[in-house]
Amino acid sequence: MSDEADRDLRQRFQVLRERDEAESPAFRSLWRAAAPAPSRRPWLAGAAAAATCAALLLLAVLARPGADIESPRPALALEHAPLDFLLKPVRPCASLPMPAAAGRGFLE
């Protein structure tokens, strides 16, 4: 490419540059917009931290070895189901006579 063509390109780019510079947004506005906005709810982080601490404390207390936690099971064990009597062992009836059968003499 000739020097003349280079000059032409350079000139075109300089016109473009002047236009861009005239129309570029203000630095301060972009810079301010880029700055991270302060949190709208600064108390939220503190509250979240406090809630987490409370939850951890509760877990630590509950998971302590030997922690005496009342269980509902004993109360349930005391209750009697309506058909409990069916599970009681049947007592052998000693007074019933042995039936007469062949070969009983061998046993006596």
Token pair in block for residue 31: 């810079």
The separation between CA 32 and the C-alpha centre of its own chain, rounded to angstroms, equals 39
Tell me the window of 7-15, 43-51, 60-68, 98-106 that interacts with other proteins (CB under 8 A).
7-15
| Residue 5 is a binding residue for other proteins (CB under 8 A) | yes
| Residue 15 is a binding residue for other proteins (CB under 8 A) | yes
Q: Which is nearer to other proteins, 19 or 64 (CB)?
A: 19
Residue 67 contacts residue 61 (beta carbons within 8 Å): yes
Whole-angstrom Cα distance, residue 56 to residue 44?
A: 18
Residues lying near other proteins in the complex (CB under 8 A)? 1, 4-6, 8-10, 12-17, 19-21, 23-25, 27-28, 30-31, 33-36
